[in-house]
Amino acid sequence: MDRKTSFNSVAVLLILILSSTAWGFKSPIYVGFVGGSSPGFEKDCRESIETVSFIFDMLNQKGGINGHPVHLIFKDDHNNPDMARKVAFELSEDKRIKAVIGHGFSSCAMAAGKIYHQAGLACVSPMATHPKATGQSPWMFSLLPDDTFRANRIACYLKAIIKARKIIVCGSSSTYGRGLDYAFSKKAERLNITLLDHLHFDSNAPSFEQKMLKKIKPHQKLSDAVVILSHIDNAARIAKTLRENNIQTPIIMPGMVTPDMIDILEGHTENIFLTTPFLLSLGSMEAVEFSRQFKNKFGSLPSTAAYLTADAGNLILDAIGAGAHTRRSIRDYIASLNSPANGFHGITGHSYFNQNGACVRQVLLSTFDKEALMPAFLQIRSAGLETPPENVEDNAVNNGIFLLDGESFYLTHVVYAGIDISRIDQVDTMSPSFSVNFCYWFLWQGDLDIANIGFVNDIQDPGDKSEILRKDLSGLTRYICYRARRTFRFPLDLRDFPFDSQELPITFAHKWKNANLVRLAADLPDVNLQPLNKKIPNGWRFLTQEDYTATYRLHTTFGDPRQSEYREEHVPFSIYRYAARVQRLLLPYYVTLFLPMLILMVMPLVVFWIPLEQVRSRLASLTGALLSILLFHLTLTSSHPKVGYLVRADYFFLVAYTVIVALYVMVVACSSVDKGGYGDRVKATRINRIAAWIFFPLILILEALMMLTS
């Protein structure tokens, strides 16, 4: 063995030793990940890799799973079934790998599924939808509903929300399109929806959009909607062609919005509906927090595919964290999540797996506001009731629940909400509360008790008032705007005082209807938010602001039997939350805190000018300085509310107390050496001089550090 080889071996050994030490000598856990970087999908693949790496890194920073770090092994199937089989075989042969995340295309999931089945390796696909992708192997799972389920939901939305009775269906001749078409036709027939025409097209044929246009035109006056069952980009081409030829019939299609789709539509987005598995505006607090973390890390909000990829990764991590350490036990854990009551609550919401391994989740109806994808005003949500409520007929709403083809649904009203701050009058950290002048508004459709949407964190202050500024209740979409002056509580956090910043939230929710009946959505979040630089009280400066909506879950049913029948683990409620973050101005504290601290810390240094033999005088000067600092500390503490933790300023005083105690020790040391003039005066003088050279610059350095720690 040559010297270079020997050196490399030693280096590798040291790295392994250090790694083992850092992780408590616990071996890593390996999980496979398969992306797909075919032409046109490079960005999606990169984002998926970033997402899964991000959640695994966060876990490892917290100590991994019971001290075991979790490592990813990356593969790329290039969205090609042959390559999918190859990478599936490679991952299956690696006995370290406990489970696999990936295979976004259904064709790749179907090809790889056979390999995983033979090897006994569980795979969770974020986005495979073909029934055979999961149905042919008990080791394959998908976080999206299969095509049959999605097609059924399209038909339900047509019947319950769009109120369509006569429709035109355009189905792609691809495997994906045919699967959707078959399931949709069966469901539409059961819902008594008439198909005026049933068209098929080949997306590879030239000018297929124009061919569809010619066949749709004769029915445009009779049709209540056009259903396009195809991959989203091809559906967008047909929709654009219809709009360019003045056919304004509602269009509904399955899929997730993509940048390419927006480019294809070129602004022709009116009256186009998509059924999608997830919308951040109707998401949970977990989704909001993940989107924040993702944006802070990568500079942009995650796509729907990224949310689903994160859920796939978290699902496997949950299985391992629950004690599933073998390939078989991980598969059994995932398969056990097979009912609404025993499901998986991830970033994208509550879901579970059917007997074929496909995800069962709520499917949302979305529409466009220009290029922004927004939830439709009315949604349907599966109620999951084993016994339908009495006196409820098909398509007749009773207490928010209705039946459709024998299945129970909630009729969910989406209320758009917004806030525009005109001025923050005061921020009182003693209460803690803040007063604000602002306008807020709601947009909704249908009959809804808007008056019962109220503030969650307001305080009944005598000066508060609210009045209707304007309203329009005459159209299909209703609108009301209020002008108000209100006082609100806020969660005080003084840990960084006086360098602290505070979040000032305004939160409202429906007083008694849960998220199955009413969901709040931010009215174009961030668009209406104007800077507050000149609209906040003295002593504070504006940092940032945001508004968002989210669902949160309460561990109670309020004694309502209808709530307990809902099969999710806890009852979800929807909130709208606006929050401005302000920071305390430091300038006054240079005069009221840092300058007094400097004076009080310099005062005890006079001890160095008092003769060594005057021990009592030296100790008295230090005692006076200590009492002055203590009194100042108590005075400053009384200026803010009692909290159960130390604030940053407390550490400044702890440093000052430490300096005083050190000076006490120095005086006693000098006195014991000098012995009242009968000891070693030269040595005592030297100790005193050295201490002076240490303490003078030390106090200046400490004061500078106090002022710079912001």
Q: How many helices (H) and strands (E) does the chain have?
A: 19, 27
627 to each of 590, 598, 601, 603, 665, how far by Cα in Å?
22, 15, 12, 12, 17
In this prediction, residue 44 has a pLDDT band, given cuts at 50, 70 and 90, of confident
CATH number at residue 522: 2.70.170.10
Q: Is pLDDT of 272 > 50? A: yes
pLDDT, position 5: 46
CA 340 to chain centre: 22
What phi and psi, each to the nearest 5 degrees, are found at residue 676? Answer: 65, 25
Q: What length does the chain have?
A: 710
In this prediction, residue 700 has a pLDDT band, given cuts at 50, 70 and 90, of confident
pLDDT, position 556: 64
What percent of the chain lies above the pLDDT cut of 70? 91
Give, in degrees to the nearest 5, the angle at Cα 113 between 110 and 116.
165
Give the H or E element holding residue 156. Answer: helix 147-160
Is 678 contained in some domain? yes
CATH number at residue 26: 3.40.50.2300
Same domain (yes/no): 451, 571: yes
CATH number at residue 600: 1.20.58.390
pLDDT, position 333: 97
The residue from 276, 305, 325 where one domain ends is: 276
In this prediction, residue 297 has a pLDDT band, given cuts at 50, 70 and 90, of very high
The residue segments making up the domain with residue 163 are 147-276
In this prediction, residue 10 has a pLDDT band, given cuts at 50, 70 and 90, of very low
pTM: 0.85
| Residue position matching structure tokens 């008594």 | 192
Is 497 contained in some domain? yes
Residues 14-27: pLDDT tens digits? 444 444 444 445 78
pLDDT, position 521: 94
pLDDT, position 613: 84
| pLDDT, averaged across the chain | 87
Token pair belonging to 493: 């956090």
The residue from 524, 549, 584 where one domain ends is: 584
pLDDT, position 562: 55
Is 291 contained in some domain? yes
Q: Is pLDDT of 568 > 50? A: no
Residues 377-417: pLDDT tens digits? 999 998 865 445 555 555 555 667 888 988 889 999 999 99
Spatial separation of the C-alpha atoms in residues 107 and 133, rounded to whole Å: 7
- Which has more pLDDT, 383 or 123? 123
Same domain (yes/no): 606, 686: yes
Long-range pairs, 284-293, Cβ under 8 A, ≥24: 284/347, 284/349, 284/550, 284/551, 284/552, 284/553, 284/572, 285/550, 285/551, 285/552, 286/346, 286/347, 287/347, 287/348, 287/349, 287/550, 288/548, 288/550, 290/347, 293/54, 293/58
Same domain (yes/no): 126, 178: no
Q: What is the DSSP letter of 450?
A: G
Give the H or E element holding residue 169. Answer: strand 166-172
Same domain (yes/no): 427, 492: yes
Same domain (yes/no): 453, 433: yes
Is 299 contained in some domain? yes
What percent of the chain lies above the pLDDT cut of 90? 59
Is 176 contained in some domain? yes
Residues 488-544: pLDDT tens digits? 999 999 999 999 999 999 999 999 898 999 999 998 755 556 777 778 888 999 999
Residues 635-665: pLDDT tens digits? 998 888 988 899 999 998 998 899 889 999 9
pLDDT, position 529: 64
Same domain (yes/no): 621, 579: no
Spatial separation of the C-alpha atoms in residues 703 and 699, rounded to whole Å: 6
Is 403 contained in some domain? no
Token pair belonging to 296: 């802070």
Q: Is pLDDT of 7 > 50? A: no
Same domain (yes/no): 690, 702: yes
Q: What is the DSSP letter of 591?
A: I
- Nearest Cα to 281, choosing from 145, 162, 372? 372
Same domain (yes/no): 440, 481: yes
pLDDT, position 397: 59
- Which has more pLDDT, 425 or 12? 425
Is 527 contained in some domain? yes
In terms of Cβ atoms closer than 10 Å to its own Cβ (0-12, 13-18, 19+), residue 214 is exposed
pLDDT, position 22: 45
pLDDT, position 401: 86
Is 246 contained in some domain? yes
Same domain (yes/no): 496, 567: yes
Spatial separation of the C-alpha atoms in residues 633 and 217, rounded to whole Å: 81
Same domain (yes/no): 214, 309: no
pLDDT, position 393: 52
- Average pLDDT, stretch 186-190? 95
Q: Is pLDDT of 569 > 60? A: no
pLDDT, position 152: 95
pLDDT, position 185: 94
- Which has more pLDDT, 392 or 330? 330
Overall domain count for the chain: 4
The residue from 552, 584, 616 where one domain ends is: 584
Same domain (yes/no): 570, 458: yes
Same domain (yes/no): 113, 68: yes
